[in-house]
Structure 1
Amino acid sequence: MARTLQPEELIDSAVVDPDGNKLGKVGNVYLADATHQPEWITVKTGLFGTKESFVPLTGAHTDRDGVHVQVDKDRVSDAPRIDADGHLSPEESTQLYQHYGLPVPRTSADGRMDRGTDRGADRGTERGTDRGRGAMGGKHDDRAMTRSEERLNVGTEQVETGHVRLRKYVVTEEQQVTVPVRHEEVRIEREPITRADGGRAEIGEAEQDVVLHAEKPVVRKETVPVERARLRKETVSDEQTVSGKVRKEQFEVTDDDRKNRRS
């Protein structure tokens, strides 16, 4: 390498293979136990960067477009799946070196290879311990992001809408009724008298009195029941449309090319 690669410079850098294929971004930097120089990087791959693959830094160099490594995309894709949890065991280190065709170096006394510091941590941070984790690289975990949204919960409640009263009151109206009536009248009946029927007649005054009668309408009032009324409640069902504004969260994923995808 033209110059020594610094762990803080590598974190979150793009990783490019010899053919110019972009492999992903640097997640963690692992240091060689003997020299404490960057030896391995983990590359975040997949649509959401949920996978991390180990890539050797042997022969790698940095440029404006990222870290250029000497292994191709297919070799990285087929690399052993090892959790980037802070340390490499001897067995894990051997698997990686053999996969990439590299000589297996001597490990530390406890058989582990140390992981380098993350960008933003102190240069004096103890390496190989949990104190060196967190600021930029961080170890991979299975934390998920929860998307929440508001929903309308529609119910009903009984409220008082008014009062209804039933009362009766008196009104006066004019009525006309036709009633048949009878009355008596006087009529003079005359009949001739023959000489045989007649007797002796005398001239003089006489009178006859007749009493006449007539019917006249007589109005009497009486009170009679004609109708009953009462108030009774009944339940009528209909439909009403309600509306309200609710909020919801959306996911937005930004890739290396600053293209946004929402879901």
Structure 2
Amino acid sequence: MIDQTHVEALYDCDVIDNHGEKIGSVKRVWLEDGTGRPMWAEVHTGLFGMKESFVPIQQGQVAGGAITVPVDKEQVKDAPSVHTSGDHMSEKEQEALYRHYGMRLPQAKTGEHDRLGGKRAPEVTLSEEKLDVGTRSVETGRVRLVKHTVTEQRDITVPVTHEEVRVVREPVRGTGTGKAFADEQAEVTLHREEPVVQKRTEAVERVRLEKDAVTEQRNVKGEVRKERVEVERDDERR
């Protein structure tokens, strides 16, 4: 039989029915007021352990980290719902559970059944800090296009042509056209090309500013706090 010495060992213990099937795990133990005798285990059952059912453990056996109870798994699934208030179970709720499992009601004291008090497993809540990393837009600088005029020298080679004179002699047949022994002169006009520099203005290029988004990886460091738990006993520390 289960007594007060087993209470602490029952929490999170697997509950096995009389056919060896697992019913669920113990999340709360209900004790008889006054005597402190374990009477019922509040067990999480169903898909994902979302349902809470009450299982009688007065006649259960604890072994190998599990508790075997003399009831059927289907009985537990169909057990009446219990709405506790102030960590106590009412007499009507107790009686409904006893009737469901076909158990004899305990003898009443002073005309009333003993009330049951629920005892939760001792627990602490651990917290830790998390780093939430994001980004924000900040102005890093401004870029502008500024146009100004510069003067530079250009050396360009231009082909130019000039005329030169050469003397050509030909024999004369007959009397010729000139006067003999008279002074004469003949001339030709010579020409040459000279480089002429003129300037004109024309558009050669358009320049504009565009922005591109470049993604790079940055490491962000930060200190976070987290809580740890230690189990302490009077005679040792783990």
Q: Secondary structure at the match of 2:184?
A: coil
Q: What pairs with 1:24-103 in structure 2 (closer than 5 Å)?
A: 24-33=24-33, 35-46=35-46, 48-83=48-83, 86-103=87-104
Matched, 1:177 2:159: yes
Tell me, in whole angstroms, the C-alpha distance in 1 between the residues paired with 2:154 and 2:208: 31
Percent identity reads 26
Contact 1:29 1:116 in 2 (8 A): yes
Which amino acid is 2:98 matched to?
A: Y
Q: TM-score, normalised by structure 2?
A: 0.63
Residue in 1 aligned with 2:117? 115
Worse-matched range after superposition: 22-31 or 214-223: 214-223
Q: Deviations over 1:101-140 (max 9, x none)?
A: 1233437889772225455xxxxxxxxxxxxxxx25x9xx
Seen in structure 2, the aligned counterparts of structure 1 residues 181 and 40 have a Cα distance that, compared at 3 Å, is: same
Please identify the structure whose Cα radius of gyration is greater: 1
Tell me, in whole angstroms, the C-alpha distance in 1 between the residues paired with 2:110 and 2:36: 11
Q: Which runs of 5+ in 2 are unaligned?
A: 125-129, 221-238
Q: Deviations over 1:149-169 (max 9, x none)?
A: 967669796755797766443
Seen in structure 2, the aligned counterparts of structure 1 residues 113 and 64 have a Cα distance that, compared at 3 Å, is: same
Which amino acid is 2:194 matched to?
A: V
Tell me, in whole angstroms, the C-alpha distance in 2 between the residues paired with 1:180 and 1:48: 108
Residue in 1 aligned with 2:23? 23
Tell me, in whole angstroms, the C-alpha distance in 2 between the residues paired with 1:103 and 1:171: 118
Q: Which runs of 5+ in 1 are unaligned?
A: 120-134, 139-147, 194-204, 247-263
1:28 is displaced (CA, Å) by 1.5
Contact 1:40 1:54 in 2 (8 A): yes
Tell me, in whole angstroms, the C-alpha distance in 2 between the residues paired with 1:34 and 1:108: 14
Q: Secondary structure at the match of 1:74?
A: helix
Name which of 189, 205, 220 aligns with 1:214: 189
Worse-matched range after superposition: 23-32 or 105-114: 105-114
Q: What pairs with 1:127-166 in structure 2 (closer than 5 Å)?
A: 135-136=122-123, 159=141
Which amino acid is 1:4 matched to?
A: D
Contact 2:4 2:36 in 1 (8 A): no
Worse-matched range after superposition: 158-167 or 222-231: 158-167
Which amino acid is 1:113 matched to?
A: R
Q: TM-score, normalised by structure 1?
A: 0.58
Contact 2:43 2:52 in 1 (8 A): yes
Q: Secondary structure at the match of 2:39?
A: strand
